Structure 1
């Protein structure tokens, strides 16, 4: 019988974020045994955002070695890797990078999106997201093939004449190649934004031929949780991970965080409040979105994981209170909680418009009411995020996605207890706060499945709950009319479809 969920087993989760590479070592009961991170640096210039792929490997290798300090190598069972969604590069036949890594939010391929969406319309419609966004991986692949950073040199090939053996790699693929010592399959989660057909489970050959993507450029793809291979001797020397350790196909960072939060049963949702608000849920069926703002990953075991990312979130606090230190924000929270204010800031971050619960590139922040002083303005920001969160769930319900399962709060914003309680009150539902929820933990949970545990059993054993917040019914009732005023304000501006606004109003009456 497998000991995957025993205290003797150790599972590794590796996370490649934007600013750091992180490794955690967790036993089969969820106890954290070791953790380490190393910084990552990138280059931003307007729409350009890239990183050196070699840095991903050296940073993760150092983090692994430190996280495993003092752990008996005989206990280590397996590992899995997550990375940012839509980050890609080109590599040669031996896995050496030919281009920088184009990060998830690099927008240099904007001009390719129309061609991608014209040629691939049939597939994207079938998969439910209808159209690719310009920052997704497939437009970036076409840009890489055309130059100016193409694989034949700094001026690019000016066409599709790529050298023999050139490979497209997702960010995690570089790491799994180095770990195994040879190229292994990509996972379907990282391949989604490159156009992988999650229903037929293949690359759409006719559409890719029409786009001029060379045959042989794309990796094989398997479902997350599939064993890809084992750690080779060279990788063991670099990372401290024992040779022979199982390497399991991972998922993107958002899905990894969802696993780390234990939001895996049908109707369960994980709301990640960071700079922006990200939703990840679980569904027994594919969720299709006519508005193209929600898309589905395919999870381990055949489940579907719908989700999307808003352009609203905690980043509004940095925008409106620049230079505020953590202690300043704590003090503002205490003062804000005492105001009882119902003014609302629509908490857009940046100038790119909104992505969820509607797509409106022209959307701009606005204020309802007249907040007096910085404490009321701060509270208006907290309330605005909570209202966007409720509208996201109303929109998902409008699409027919199951939303009545457990709700989990994670991300930096979840550390503010007053804010978390306010969010639970606005939603009118119980919210769970995990003891430790992060992408690296989610990959440790997924790695445990390679040693014989089901994903549900692994999450049940390894994800620990810190607190459960119950809504105050009186406060929910007091804030509902304010929420509906906010919804109406979005509809009046033409950003929110009236049918969605009507649905939100109907849900409020239930």
Structure 2
């Protein structure tokens, strides 16, 4: 029998699955990516075919198995990470009865407002209902309809033909776990994000009170377990399709946010990481659940059930870069050309501003209707100045969010570990350090943080590490960017002007989205 010296991690995003094999020291042995479709049947609807996930998973895994000698026999355990907030209704065999309603889907927005509203509303919420959710979950469902609770009710009301056959309602990762192991199970973070979960310390289970509100039996939801718990062994059928060893342990795994937090390798309370991808999120480990009612900063149970993640999400980061690349006439994937354009611009106190609210915003202002803009453009403003402003605007927007975030996390000025595809840009990493006035540290292969976090849960399950804090040894720090005093002073002056823009232009918002 081959020595089991590898861990296998999967990361299911919105457009593709990444899969990677890791050695004990965190080095990537091999990696592959396979895309799948995003289905947009109507305005506000966003679906994916679960069979597409499985087909992509099989193709990517086979590519690794073909590239690495005896890979299937060398894998000690398997871990999964995935996008969160989806709903897949399945029958008793685990077969999907409907396409997945993924996190982008807002068809149930009216239902979300109905579930959370009342005769009197404060910021869109009925005070009594909001108080109940805050007490039980430490937060509340979004009014956008992006959360699982309103999607479940939509299926109840609009697909009565399917409802009698629904055995379980699963998130993305949990559907895949069922196909790998035959077990219906979810992690604490995914359960929390349904807003049907009692997140209070000592509880951490489905809430009878919240389930009763929507008439849903707990039996239609999966079991809840820790991220490093073994969901089961890889079934014979799944092993044959993937080219792996039957019985290989598969962990419960995590959602994408917790996977990034795990892979950041700084498990101490208050430790910060910033994920910089299509969107961005800022997260910190905290012992007690906290929430800022004035913004969308809130807490999510950590994937192993131990503590919480304080999270602030901004809608557009890399998405702003892609949008500006098209606007300024660059090729679709010419990120190097766009960065070179921005690097050629020397920043000044009176240069253009960019506000990255292209699809609304959650933090620092919770406003789905606000829209982005360039401001302070002059006849002298060229493509380089506009490209620079886009990078800077995302960073200034984050600084604004951190004013609230630091108060809740209690870690003002702490070093920020940078993850995600955007972290490959040393230009942007240095800009974040200068704008935020704090050190920023990158890691090797930051765009594989999801697969690494998943693999670290597998390392614990395989007995390589006693716990996730010990598995942090797999994280490989790369470089520290210290703030430049002169640039930091320039950005501090521009930040004061940046925050004054929103109150002046919110009256120009579209009437609906």
TM range (shorter): 0.7 to 0.9
Are residue 455 (structure 1) and residue 476 (structure 2) matched? no
Q: Which residue of 2 aligns with 1:210?
A: 213
Q: Shift in Å at residue 479 of structure 1?
A: 1.9
SS of alignment partner, residue 39 of structure 2: strand
Provide the rounded CA distance (Å) in 1 between the counterparts of 2:245 and 2:397.
46
TM-score, normalised by the number of residues in structure 1: 0.87
Question: Contact 1:9/1:27 (CA < 8 Å) preserved in 2?
Answer: yes
* Compared CA separation, residues 123 and 170, structure 1 to 2 (3 A): farther
Q: Which residue of 1 aligns with 2:62?
A: 65
Q: Which residue of 1 aligns with 2:151?
A: 140
Q: How does 1:166-315 map to 2 (within 5 A)?
A: 166-180=167-181, 182-195=182-195, 196-199=197-200, 200-291=203-294, 293-299=296-302, 300=304, 302-315=306-319
1:481 to 493, 501, 505: 493
1:389 to 393, 398, 402: 398
Q: Shift in Å at residue 220 of structure 1?
A: 1.4
TM-score, normalised by the number of residues in structure 2: 0.87
SS of alignment partner, residue 29 of structure 2: strand
Are residue 472 (structure 1) and residue 478 (structure 2) matched? no
* Compared CA separation, residues 22 and 80, structure 1 to 2 (3 A): same
Provide the rounded CA distance (Å) in 2 between the counterparts of 1:400 and 1:172.
29
Provide the rounded CA distance (Å) in 2 between the counterparts of 1:140 and 1:301.
25
Question: Contact 2:168/2:220 (CA < 8 Å) preserved in 1?
Answer: yes
Provide the rounded CA distance (Å) in 1 between the counterparts of 2:176 and 2:341.
42
Question: Contact 2:352/2:385 (CA < 8 Å) preserved in 1?
Answer: no
Are residue 130 (structure 1) and residue 165 (structure 2) matched? no
1:387-438: CA deviation from partner (whole Å, max 9, x where unpaired): 1111121110233553554311222322222222111111111111110122
Provide the rounded CA distance (Å) in 2 between the counterparts of 1:39 and 1:292.
34
Q: Shift in Å at residue 231 of structure 1?
A: 1.0
SS of alignment partner, residue 499 of structure 2: helix
SS of alignment partner, residue 143 of structure 1: helix
Provide the rounded CA distance (Å) in 2 between the counterparts of 1:92 and 1:388.
44
Question: Contact 2:193/2:300 (CA < 8 Å) preserved in 1?
Answer: no
Provide the rounded CA distance (Å) in 2 between the counterparts of 1:261 and 1:242.
29
Question: Contact 1:273/1:411 (CA < 8 Å) preserved in 2?
Answer: yes
1:328-385: CA deviation from partner (whole Å, max 9, x where unpaired): 313312312x3546534343243x4211122023323244433511111221222111
Q: Which residue of 2 aligns with 1:348?
A: 356
Q: Which residue of 2 aligns with 1:505?
A: none
Question: Contact 2:4/2:76 (CA < 8 Å) preserved in 1?
Answer: no
CA RMSD in angstroms comes to 2.3
Provide the rounded CA distance (Å) in 2 between the counterparts of 1:465 and 1:234.
38
Provide the rounded CA distance (Å) in 1 between the counterparts of 2:36 and 2:418.
26
Provide the rounded CA distance (Å) in 2 between the counterparts of 1:450 and 1:18.
27
* Compared CA separation, residues 257 and 111, structure 1 to 2 (3 A): same
User: Mean Cα displacement is larger for which, 313-322 or 232-241?
Assistant: 313-322
1:142-164: CA deviation from partner (whole Å, max 9, x where unpaired): 111212xx2625xxxxxxxx325
1:441-489: CA deviation from partner (whole Å, max 9, x where unpaired): 1101121111231211112x21111211111122212221211221233
Q: How does 1:28-177 map to 2 (within 5 A)?
A: 28-44=24-40, 45-68=42-65, 69-118=68-117, 121-126=130-135, 127-133=137-143, 134-147=145-158, 150=159, 152=161, 162-163=163-164, 166-177=167-178
Question: Contact 1:124/1:132 (CA < 8 Å) preserved in 2?
Answer: no
Q: Which residue of 1 aligns with 2:371?
A: 364
SS of alignment partner, residue 198 of structure 2: coil
* Compared CA separation, residues 488 and 99, structure 1 to 2 (3 A): same
* Compared CA separation, residues 91 and 130, structure 1 to 2 (3 A): closer
Provide the rounded CA distance (Å) in 2 between the counterparts of 1:128 and 1:374.
45
* Compared CA separation, residues 277 and 284, structure 1 to 2 (3 A): same
SS of alignment partner, residue 174 of structure 1: helix
